[in-house]
Amino acid sequence: MLPWKTIDSRYLLKRPWLNLREDHVQLPNGTEMEEFYVIEYPAWAAVLCLTEDGQVVMVEQYRHGIQQVTLELPAGVIDQGERPLLAARRELLEETGYVAEEWISLGHCAPNPSKHTNFAHLYLARGARCRHAPRLDKSEAIEVRLMEVDEVLHQADTGGILHGIHLAALFKALHRGLLP
C-alpha cells in the first residue's frame, strides 16, 4: 500500500478544538479527489476506573451529536504538551472526583483514521477512591455512576454504551484479563 499524494491543502475552519481541512489528493492508481475532508482533533484520554471495592466509575452526559444521554468512561482532551497519562489522571479527577493508585496503559487507537487525525489513549485505573466532588467545566453536565463490572459489560454488549473508544477500552481490559 502506498500513501496518497497531497496536491493541495487548505483550511476551511480553524478552531481551538478542531480544524477542518480540505485536501486535493492523488491516489496511487492516479485517481484524484479534489475534495477530501480531514478533521484535525486533539488527542483524547479515556479511563476505565475501578474503585477499591471493584466497582466501575462511569459518567452519564448528554451528547449533542447523537442527541442522547450516554453512559461513558471518564475521558477528555489531552492538552497541548500534556502527557496522556497525566491527562487521564486529570480528567478522572475533574469529571468524577476520583483518584487511583494503579494505572495500566491499554494502548491507543485511532477513532476514525479515514478522516480524523487524532488518537485516543486508553487506561485502566485500579484502587480508586473519591477525593472530592467533580469539578466540571462550564460546558459539562455530568452524573457519576458506580456500577458493577458485569453490569457495565452487559451495557457494552447490549448497546447501553455507545462510545466506540470506551468500548475499545472495556474490551481490551476484558481481553487481557484485567477485569474482576
Confidence at 119, pLDDT banded by 50, 70, 90: very high
CATH 3.90.79.10 domain residues, the chain: 44-175
Helix (H) or strand (E) holding 158: helix 149-158
Distance CA 11, CA 8 (A): 11
Average pLDDT over residues 29-44: 98
Q: What is the pLDDT of residue 97?
A: 97
DSSP 8-state symbol, 54: S
Query: How far, in Å, CA of 23 to CA of 9, rounded?
Result: 4
pLDDT (average), residues 17-27: 97
| Secondary structure class of 166 (helix, strand, coil) | helix
Judged against a pLDDT cut of 90, whether residue 61 lies above it is answered with yes
Q: Give the pLDDT band of residue 138 (cuts 50, 70, 90).
A: confident
Q: Give the other-Cβ count within 10 Å of 132's Cβ.
A: 10
Confidence (pLDDT) at 57: 98
Q: What is the pTM of this model?
A: 0.94
The span from the first CA to the last CA of the chain, in angstroms, equals 41
**How far does Cα 84 stand from its chain's mean position?**
11
- 44-175, what's its fold? Nucleoside Triphosphate Pyrophosphohydrolase (3.90.79)
Model pLDDT, residue 45:
98
Q: Does the pLDDT of residue 46 top 90, yes or no?
A: yes
Cα-based angle 126, 128, 130 (whole degrees, multiple of 5): 165
* Cα diameter, the chain: 58
Q: Is 51 exposed, middle or buried (0-12, 13-18, 19+ CB in 10 A)?
A: middle
- DSSP state for residue 96 in the 8-state scheme: H
Q: Strand pairing partners for 71?
A: 60
